[in-house]
Amino acid sequence: MVASLVGPERSAQAQQTATLAPAQTMLTTGPCGEQGLLFSQVAQGTLPSGALYLICVPATGWNGDMLVYAHGYTAPTEPLGFQDLRLPDGSYVPDIVLGQGYAFATTSYRQNGLAILEGADDIRELVMAFPQVSGHPAAHTYLAGVSEGGLIITLSVERSPDLFSGGLAACGPIGSFREQLNYFGDFRVLFDYFFPGILPPSPIVVPEEVIANWESTYVPAIGQALAANPSAAAQLMNTFIQSSGAPVHLRDPATWGPATLNLLWYSVFATNDARQKLGGNPFENVNRVYTGSANDSMLNYRVARFGADSIALERLIPYETSGQVRLPLVTIHTTGDEVVPFWQEQRYLAKEQASGGGSVTAVPIERYGHCNFSATEVLAAFNLLVLPPVGSLPPAPAPAPSPGALPPTGGSSIVTGSSSMVIQPGDTLSGIAQRSGTTVESLVEINDISNPNLILAGETLLVAPY
């Protein structure tokens, strides 16, 4: 399985096998999926890769276009299926798409767990199989994906522009997948430092017993530990914010429990699977400096340290986006996303700007939570993709950090001769002042900062040498 992750050869093979007919091609009338309400022409079956597919074409009023949907991360312990078909407000994604006159298609991917490269191949197979199943090719094929699916969509738009018409990437780790893995790893080692013994070691090799008893044993134990030691919980969150670029929304104690469980869930269920598929440990924190605790010196001395395996880092290369997009790409992300932080959005915009081309429209949503969108917001973002205003320019993207900086390990990128800079994850005003030859007081005054202990990655600071 590990050998199958070497990208270009897999992609070529997948496109060749996609010419084979899927296992089932008969359209029947019914709802699109088990929870659908709108009747359409429906087909379910298996792609040549072994991935399941669901294709639905409006019974009447089809506009000739199609939306292909890529779901988010699914635990390796789960059976294959069609995931993430409901938005947080309860709206059913296939019915939303069909109601707009588009055909809808999705796939389970051939495997759960880490399935980004495989998922991109399965999306290509699905698109190439659509005419065989529906009897008609789509005039335009748009992609949309959520979380892990957002990265799948972005890679697909970058690497297969001849197959698609554009993409909508929602709350995905599109800026740097390697740094996303480090983000999860950072939280796990920090949790183990502040709450030792709650989770058995190791952060990079999770015991099967923890996976099997996560809900029954470890979820209650984590909740009890947070409640019993609010000082440690506050230090955990503050350190995570300052060191890893987590959203400042985590300063609200109401978010501590849900955020901790969400982040540790990925550590527990994704670590072993990623290690197996990548051939080694991808998490690296040997030189990471953590700040924000009551005793940072003690924290950095005692926190668990791990070096990434070179083979894992090599196999991560195909998972990284380039920012080189020839098709329209709309990205939507909540600024308070605790699972896939908003700096992933900023990082991708920096890549796109550095590439000197592309058409990326960023839609930030000021809200806490991972992929916490309403149907109205998703439709508005989708319309930016498929219905660009005639004779007008797309909205300007959100401010992005320097293309050369990699959160959360690097310092801020300060442009020589410039009087401004972009805050990077892990930055503090004192550190910025020292590197910039100024003072904290000066930064506070010229930027009108009300709380010097609270600065947000991605914001722009004016810097005047002292």
Residue 426 domain boundaries: 413-462
User: Residues 159, 303: one domain?
Assistant: no
Please determine, for residue 3, whether its predicted confidence score (pLDDT) is greater than 60. no
Complete DSSP assignment for 53-120: EEEEEESS---S-EEEEE-----TTSPS-----B-TTS-BHHHHHHHTT-EEEEEEESSSSS-HHHHH
Distance CA(56)–CA(65), nearest Å, equals: 12
Higher-pLDDT residue of 130, 457:
130
In this predicted model, what pLDDT tens digit does every residue of 306-365 receive, in sequence order? 999 999 999 999 999 999 999 999 999 999 999 999 999 999 999 998 887 678 999 999
Which residue, of 294, 314, 334, is where some domain finishes? 314
In this predicted model, what pLDDT tens digit does every residue of 172-211 receive, in sequence order? 999 999 999 999 999 999 999 999 999 999 999 999 999 9
pTM as predicted: 0.80
Per-residue confidence (pLDDT) for residue 421, from 0 to 100: 66
User: Residues 223, 360: one domain?
Assistant: no
User: Residues 278, 382: one domain?
Assistant: no
CATH of the domain at 425: 3.10.350.10
pLDDT category at 34 given cuts 50, 70, 90 is confident
Per-residue confidence (pLDDT) for residue 465, from 0 to 100: 53
Per-residue confidence (pLDDT) for residue 398, from 0 to 100: 43
In a domain, 115, yes or no: yes
pLDDT > 70: percent of the chain: 82
In this predicted model, what pLDDT tens digit does every residue of 77-86 receive, in sequence order? 999 999 999 9
User: CB of 41 within 8 A of CB of 59?
Assistant: yes
User: Residues 27, 93: one domain?
Assistant: yes
Mean pLDDT (whole number) for 374-402: 68
Both tokens of 394, joined, read: 């797309």
In this predicted model, what pLDDT tens digit does every residue of 86-104 receive, in sequence order? 999 999 999 999 999 999 9
In a domain, 209, yes or no: yes
User: Residues 75, 149: one domain?
Assistant: yes
User: Residues 153, 19: one domain?
Assistant: yes
pLDDT category at 403 given cuts 50, 70, 90 is very low
| Closest by Cα among 452, 453, 426, 431 to 441 | 452
pLDDT category at 412 given cuts 50, 70, 90 is very low
Mean pLDDT (whole number) for 116-124: 97
Cβ-count burial 321-349 (b if 16+ within 10 Å, e if not): bebbbebbbbbbbbbbbbbbbbbbbbbbb
User: Residues 18, 70: one domain?
Assistant: yes
CATH of the domain at 22: 3.40.50.1820
In a domain, 346, yes or no: yes
Higher-pLDDT residue of 428, 3:
428
In this predicted model, what pLDDT tens digit does every residue of 139-170 receive, in sequence order? 999 999 999 999 999 999 999 999 999 999 99
User: CB of 155 within 8 A of CB of 348?
Assistant: no
In a domain, 253, yes or no: yes
User: Residues 47, 195: one domain?
Assistant: no
In a domain, 400, yes or no: no
Which residue, of 279, 314, 349, is where some domain finishes? 314
In a domain, 394, yes or no: no
Mean pLDDT (whole number) for 443-452: 70
Q: Is 283 left (phi over 0), alpha (psi -120 to 50) or beta?
A: beta
Distance CA(63)–CA(224), nearest Å, equals: 53
User: Residues 73, 115: one domain?
Assistant: yes
In a domain, 393, yes or no: no
Per-residue confidence (pLDDT) for residue 76, from 0 to 100: 95
User: Residues 7, 66: one domain?
Assistant: yes
In a domain, 348, yes or no: yes
In this predicted model, what pLDDT tens digit does every residue of 228-270 receive, in sequence order? 999 999 999 999 999 999 998 999 999 999 999 999 999 999 9
Which residue, of 314, 348, 363, is where some domain finishes? 314
Distance CA(234)–CA(194), nearest Å, equals: 10
User: Residues 240, 361: one domain?
Assistant: no
Coil, strand or helix at 373: coil
Mean pLDDT of the chain: 85
pLDDT category at 466 given cuts 50, 70, 90 is low
User: Residues 304, 329: one domain?
Assistant: no
Domain count along the chain: 3
User: CB of 86 within 8 A of CB of 93?
Assistant: yes
